[in-house]
Amino acid sequence: MTIDLLLGPDDPWVFGYGSLLFRAEFPFVERRVARVRGFSRRFWQSSPDHRGTPEAPGRVVTLIESQASSVIGVAYRIARERSYAVLGELDERERAGYERAVVEIEFTEPPFGSARALLYQARAENPGFVANADEQSIAEVVRSAHGPSGDNASYVRRLAQALREIGEDDPHVFAIERLLDEPG
């Protein structure tokens, strides 16, 4: 499906809730803190290509449906003329189990409002999805995982710091960050 059918005639927005919070390696026109409702952020996706290897995958976040919850992240407005190239790069970056989804986001700072945005979500149907793992087990995997994008523990710590910077209190992420400092 083309971006025209997904979002309409305006510059598209991309919503980041994981590594896009601290590593947006694409050109954007605007960056704004935003919220998506109906989801929770969880370390339930294996990472065989960035924070681990196929033999020893790390863990990265995805969004799971949770009607009573919401997730704060960052929305990036992409210039329409660059959108195909940027989305091509993001498709490659998010290839291990992630797929595009269109969601409604709400901006959390002035000017308030909402917009449709693309996000990348690893759903339960993909082979790398590891549902309902407890935080201690996730921290054990993260402690030892390393991949082409670096060690998995630094991903967790950078994500936690980025969440603090935008005012998001994510108990799941912060619990795993704390567990990394405990003896394994």
3-class SS at 177? helix
What end-to-end distance do the CA atoms of the chain give, in Å? 45
- 80-105 in b/e burial notation, b at 16+ Cβ within 10 A? eebbeebbeebeebbebbbebbbbeb
HSE toward the beta carbon, residue 39, CA cutoff 13 A: 23
Q: Give the separation between CA 183 and CA 153, rounded to whole angstroms.
A: 14
Catalytic residue among 25, 81, 94, 99: 94
Residue 94 known to be catalytic:
yes
Q: Give the separation between CA 17 and CA 62, rounded to whole angstroms.
A: 8
Catalytic (active-site) positions: 94
